[in-house]
Amino acid sequence: GQNIDQPTEMTATEGAIVQINCTYQTSGFNGLFWYQQHAGEAPTFLSYNVLDGLEEKGRFSSFLSRSKGYSYLLLKELQMKDSASYLCAVRAYSGAGSYQLTFGKGTKLSVIP
């Protein structure tokens, strides 16, 4: 099975930078996803990492270290609309040619003025 751990809640100030960490334990690792989910809405895809290093996409960046089983999502120049839950999800090989995506519990980020 897989074990995915991320903080339950975080608070940050508008305009600041926040880093949301995710640690995982899995076999057959095949990629890590970050999703954003606003309250009452569907999760939306933010980023995907399969190789070590940093992937930058505008104000959002995601980092992966496969040897450490560690990823983080970095949000810069925080805006009020960034208040949401951020879900870390790990894809792993589950046998017989199939892959499974497992989600963490999510980190609820509150951005305050």
Partner 1 sequence: ETGVTQTPRHLVMGMTNKKSLKCEQHLGHNAMYWYKQSAKKPLELMFVYNFKEQTENNSVPSRFSPECPNSSHLFLHLHTLQPEDSALYLCASSQEKTSGVRSEQFFGPGTRLTVL
Q: Is 69 or 106 the residue whose CB approaches partner 1 more closely?
A: 106
Q: Name the nearest CA neighbour of 91 among 21, 47, 5, 29.
A: 29
User: Which residue number, 89 or 111, has a Cβ lying nearer to partner 1?
Assistant: 89
Mark 32-70 as b/e (b = at least 16 C-beta within 10 Å). bbbbbeeeeeebeebbebeeeeebeeeebbbbbeeeebe
- Count other C-beta atoms under 10 Å from residue 21's C-beta: 15
Note whether 81 and 30 are within 8 A (CB).
Answer: no
Smallest gap from residue 16 Cβ to partner 1 (A):
26
Of 78 and 109, the one with the shorter C-beta distance to partner 1 is: 109
Binding residues (CB under 8 A) for partner 1: these are 4, 30, 33, 35, 41-45, 48, 87, 89, 91, 97-106
Q: Least distance (Å) from partner 1 to the CB of residue 54?
A: 19
**Closest CB to partner 1 among residues 14, 41:** 41
